[in-house]
Amino acid sequence: MKPVTLTTDRLLLRPFEPSDAPAVHAACQDPDIPRWTSVPTPYTRGDTERYVGTVAPEGWRDDTSYTFAVVTRDDGILVGSMGLVRIALLRTPERQAELGYWTAKEHRGKGYTAEAARTVAHWAVRDLGVERLEWLAEAGNHGSWAVARSVGFQREGTLRAKLVRGGIRRDLWIGSLLPSDLLPEPADSAADRAQDPTPYLPYPR
């Protein structure tokens, strides 16, 4: 897919560029990012350059992940990363993907991540035809869950011993967001959808 750029009132979501390497490297020195994400530790400058120069662009080109650098519109400061992974399921009847993100320490608590996540979720549903967007985080990652919950995700449960990190099996929280969970935006309409939705038959509660 050709990379796209999204905007919010305060943010620009654009593909990563080689010039982002210093800011990404600095942000990922915060121990909370490798603690709760798949960012390696130690996170070297070589890791950063490979990510912004090769991994992220190849994700767009090969349709394996769509990752955005989240920057402020007024001064271009890097706030964090937001993207869709496991998007191979978009090309199947499942029409699913997973939302992942991290936020630089100094920009947490400002609502930036939820703002970006909401925009990417609308783009995924409207333009890509996503019918189930998943969120996964290691159990105990309350900050990540607060963002997901504010966007409309519903937590569905705990996947026991699903994640292996640092040689230790860990539980994962899982949540999902369906198109009906999103508040409509002005640009959203049935005519804008990538394809007609698959009928949904929920189990009686």
Q: Is residue 180 part of a domain?
A: no
Q: Which two tokens stand for residue 18?
A: 């080689």
Q: Is residue 205 part of a domain?
A: no
In the block, which residue shows the tokens 């010039």?
A: 19
- Our measurement of the distance from residue 66's CA atom to the centroid of its chain's CA atoms, rounded to an integer in Å, reads 9
| Predicted pLDDT of residue 145 | 98
- CA 95 vs CA 88, 110, 191: distances in Å: 9, 32, 18
Q: Is residue 148 part of a domain?
A: no
Q: Is residue 204 part of a domain?
A: no
Go through 19-48 and write b for each residue having 16 or more CB atoms within 10 A of its CB, e for each that does not: ebbebbbebbebeebbebbebeeebeeebb
Q: Is residue 170 part of a domain?
A: no
Closest residue by Cα to residue 51 from 6, 20, 78: 20
Do 158 and 172 form a contact (C-beta atoms < 8 A)? yes
Closest residue by Cα to residue 124 from 50, 18, 16, 13: 13
Task: Supply φ then ψ for residue 103, to 5 degrees.
Answer: -130, 135
CATH code for position 114: 3.40.630.30
3-state secondary structure of 37: coil
Range from 61-75, 123-137, 176-190 carrying the lowest mean pLDDT:
176-190
Residue 21's pLDDT band, with cuts at 50, 70 and 90, is very high
pLDDT in tens, 104-136: 999 999 999 999 999 999 999 999 999 999 999
Query: What gap in Å lies between CA 203 and CA 131, rounded to an integer?
Result: 17
Residue 36's pLDDT band, with cuts at 50, 70 and 90, is very high
Q: Is residue 178 part of a domain?
A: no
Go through 69-108 and write b for each residue having 16 or more CB atoms within 10 A of its CB, e for each that does not: bbbeeeeeebbbbbbbbebebbeeeebbbbbbbbbbeebb
Q: Is residue 112 part of a domain?
A: yes
pLDDT in tens, 76-103: 999 999 999 998 878 888 899 999 999 9
Side chain identity at residue 94, one-letter code: E
Note down the domain range covering 94. 6-130
Q: How many domains does the chain have?
A: 1
List the beta bridge partners of residue 176: 134, 154
Containing 99, the helix (H) or strand (E) segment is strand 96-103
Q: Is residue 21 part of a domain?
A: yes
Residue 191's pLDDT band, with cuts at 50, 70 and 90, is low
Q: Which two tokens stand for residue 102?
A: 């991290």
pTM for the predicted model, two decimal places: 0.91
